[in-house]
Every structure is written in structure tokens, then in C-alpha cells.
Amino acid sequence: MPTLVLAGLASAAPEVELEWERTGAEVEMGPGDAEVRVEYRVRNTGAAELRFNRVESSCGCTAALPAKRVLAAGESTVVKAVFEKGKRQGRNENVLRVFLEGMPEPVAYLKLAVNIVEAMQLQPEILYWKRGMVGPREVRVQLHPDHAAQLGALSFNGDLMRVKAEPDPQTPGQYVLMVEPVAYERSLREKVVVRALNSSGAVVGEKTLFVFVQT
């Protein structure tokens, strides 16, 4: 267990002795999760009472507070952190700085890494037809085997594009989108919204495919 010992600012101030069960955590969020909660347990191994002042986060996505503000000698508590996903994707890292009353510098740096699992991947995510190019283009959609069961309805402007989705017979959980502009003689900036569904039919992921035609 990491133990932190800090001398007080004044000569009469006691040493600060905190023993943390961990100072780092790495967690995974599923596509349907809105938030994740993590706890960092700490014990006051010194002889003096300690008072928490605040916990600052390097990211606005994470809020953290100690369960108890006053920690007597020998007592334990937890710093509770809540990470809110919002529109974030992939790996997110931030640091929590723990402050005690009367101490201008943090007494601990708690690391939090959150890996947000995506229900599906598009490859590519942008289709672009240069002047003179014609014909449909292919996009591969890979569903996550643990979080997505099927492809949902596609949203696009049928007056401007033709889009067809078919399962890939060679690769389980993969679909092939065939995308083609209706006309090539005019510029186009459109999008196709692709949704992944779980086994109950609920949407667990959404991606946007951007389509451009240059004239």
C-alpha cells in the first residue's frame, strides 16, 4: 500500500501520514453506461486528526469527494470519484488532487483511466468522391461481440444517396454498407447515421458516416 508522509507547514504541526490502498485505477465502461464510480480507500496512520479540504480533477468529466471530511487517527475513509461519459470515446485519463486543510499542496495524486468500449466501428468513417469518380463505395461495420447484436436502421437522405447494408458472410458481427450518391454532377455534403442494437433491440451505439462529392 502506498504511504504518504508529509511534514506540516509550521514546526508545531504534526506529520501527515496517509496510507492508500491504491492511488491508481483503470476501469472499463460499456456502450450503454452513462457513468462509472471508483473508490480510493485511505487510512490516517498518523497520531493527529486530519481534515480534507477538497479534491480537484484534471477533467470536468470527473467529480470526487471524500466520504468523510474529518479523519481521526487510525480511521479510514474513501475518496469517491464519478466519471461521466457524455460524448467521450476511447481511453480517458485524469488525475485527482487531494488537499487537506492548511496545506497548499496536494497530499495525494490519484490516477483514473477509463476505457470506453464502443459498440461498433466504421471503416472508413468518411467517403469522398473526387471530380470524375463514380460508382458505389464500401464501408465495413464491425459490431462488438459483447455489446452489440445487430445493426439498426440507417438514417440518411434517400433523395441524395443510395445506401444498402448486408451482413458479411465471411466475418461474424460484421456488415458491409454500399454507399452511392444519386448524382455526381453536383456537390454533396451528407451523412449516414449508423446504429448498433443489443439483443433487446435497444440502441447501444451510434456512428456517423460523412459523405462528400466534389464537382
176, 123 contact by CB (below 8 A): no
Instruction: Determine the structural domain holding residue 11 and report its residue range.
Output: 3-116
Domain boundary among 116, 149, 182: 116
pLDDT in tens, 176-189: 999 999 999 999 99
**Average pLDDT in the chain:** 91
Q: Residue 92 carries which side chain, given as an amino acid letter?
A: N
CA separation (Å) from 165 to 88, 113, 150, 152, 176?
A: 27, 35, 11, 10, 6
The rounded distance, in Å, linking the Cα atoms of 193 and 212 is: 15
CA separation (Å) from 66 to 53, 71, 97, 184?
A: 9, 10, 12, 60
128, 214 contact by CB (below 8 A): yes
Same domain, 130 and 111: no
Band of residue 8 on the pLDDT scale cut at 50, 70, 90: very low
Alpha-helical segments (H) within the chain: none
Same domain, 18 and 57: yes
Torsion-angle region of 86 (φ positive above 0: left; ψ -120 to 50: alpha; else: beta): left
Same domain, 205 and 112: no
Same domain, 137 and 93: no
Which residues, including other chains, have CB under 8 Å from residue 132's CB and lie 6 or more apart?
none
What is the number of domains present in the chain? 2
pLDDT score for 74: 95
Band of residue 1 on the pLDDT scale cut at 50, 70, 90: low
Domain boundary among 116, 148, 179: 116
Q: Across residues 122-136, what is the average pLDDT?
A: 95
Same domain, 79 and 165: no
CA separation (Å) from 158 to 23, 48, 56, 192, 197?
A: 53, 71, 49, 10, 22
108, 95 contact by CB (below 8 A): no
pLDDT score for 32: 81
Specify the DSSP class assigned to residue 133: -
Domain boundary among 81, 116, 151: 116
* CA–centroid distance for 141 within its chain: 21
Q: Across residues 62-83, what is the average pLDDT?
A: 96
Torsion-angle region of 201 (φ positive above 0: left; ψ -120 to 50: alpha; else: beta): left
Same domain, 11 and 101: yes
Answer yes or no: is pLDDT of 63 > 70: yes
Same domain, 171 and 139: yes
How many residues appear in the chain?
215
Which residues, including other chains, have CB under 8 Å from residue 203's CB and lie 6 or more apart?
152, 195, 196, 197
Same domain, 9 and 111: yes
CATH number at residue 85: 2.60.40.10
pLDDT in tens, 130-176: 998 999 999 999 999 999 999 999 999 999 999 999 999 989 889 99
Same domain, 126 and 104: no
The rounded distance, in Å, linking the Cα atoms of 81 and 38 is: 5
Provide the grid cell at 146. Answer: 459483447
Same domain, 30 and 109: yes
Same domain, 81 and 141: no
Same domain, 73 and 142: no
pLDDT in tens, 10-48: 434 457 899 999 999 999 998 888 999 999 999 999 999
